[in-house]
């Protein structure tokens, strides 16, 4: 994790040093959330890019294994549903995740009474009817299939007693929040606030976070120099990755 207070201190120092202006705690929290989402999304593009290089034998091992390092950063957000938050609707025959932090559904599994898992293959709408009505590839508990309906899933065959479904997914990063108390009209950092939330990104993303937040601050304050500096740092990062 990255301390939201550390990031804010750097951002405020850089803004105040050149007298660019002031951003409120609420503005900082909003910009922090935007920056974290942006960097989180970019991890998937980086991973794809480096996996392509890995397939061409253009990467190294151990500490230089960048695809592995990026995957580990993404794995922080990997989680499984429980029986409490993956519910079944008997009217629609749909399994749905009831949480609000779903980013990407990765894999659906069938679990029998012995705890053994079987991957449930997601099929296209065009293949579904053919498979369900086939005598050869008809879905069974050994080879189950599913279709996606919006953000929910319909599983074939219909699960009976002794079988449950489990969803493996990537969750959204928790929204960062710099907490404070007012002291003589000035916001003072409160590390003991129950709603404090640090960034969930890997520490290696500290500089990109500061850079992106500064970019949003530049837009908010209409300071062209701040935006140019942030854009310059972004270009350096892109050139380094390419």
Place of tokens 């120099």: 225
Per-residue pLDDT of the chain (242 residues; tens, 9 = 90+): 999 999 999 999 888 766 556 789 999 999 999 999 999 999 999 999 989 988 888 888 888 899 999 999 999 999 999 888 999 999 999 999 999 999 999 999 999 999 999 999 999 988 999 999 988 889 999 999 999 998 899 999 999 989 999 999 999 999 999 999 999 888 999 999 999 999 999 999 999 999 999 888 877 655 555 556 555 655 555 555 55
pLDDT for 28 equals 94
Angle at 111 between CA 108 and CA 115, to 5 degrees: 135
pLDDT for 228 equals 60
Assess contact for 36 and 191: CB atoms under 8 A: no
Residue 109 to residues 55, 92, 158, 213, 231: CA-CA distances in angstroms? 28, 20, 14, 39, 43
* Residues 2, 42, 49, 72, CA torsion sign: positive
């Amino acid at each position: 994790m990255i301390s939201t207070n550390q990031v804010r201190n750097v951002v405020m120092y850089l803004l105040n040093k050149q007298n660019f202006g002031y951003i409120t705690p609420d503005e900082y929290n909003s910009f922090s959330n935007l920056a974290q989402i942006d960097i989180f999304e970019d991890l998937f593009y980086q991973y794809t890019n480096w996996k392509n290089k890995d397939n061409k034998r253009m990467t190294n091992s151990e500490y230089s294994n960048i695809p592995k390092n990026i995957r580990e950063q993404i794995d922080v957000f990997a989680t499984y549903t429980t029986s409490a938050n993956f519910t079944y609707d008997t009217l629609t025959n749909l399994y749905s995740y009831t949480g609000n932090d779903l980013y990407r559904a990765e894999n659906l599994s069938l679990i029998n009474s012995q705890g053994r898992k079987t991957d449930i293959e997601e099929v296209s709408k065009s293949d579904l009817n053919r498979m369900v009505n086939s005598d050869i590839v008809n879905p069974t508990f050994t080879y189950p299939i599913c279709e996606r309906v919006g953000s929910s899933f319909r599983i074939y065959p219909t699960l009976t007693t002794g079988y449950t479904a489990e969803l493996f997914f990537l969750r959204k990063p928790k929204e960062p929040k710099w907490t404070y108390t007012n002291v003589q009209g000035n916001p003072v950092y409160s590390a003991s606030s129950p709603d404090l939330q640090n960034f969930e990104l890997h520490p290696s993303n500290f500089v990109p976070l500061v850079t992106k937040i500064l970019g949003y601050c530049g837009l908010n304050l209409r300071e062209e120099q701040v935006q140019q500096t942030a854009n310059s740092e972004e270009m350096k990062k892109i050139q380094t990755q390419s």
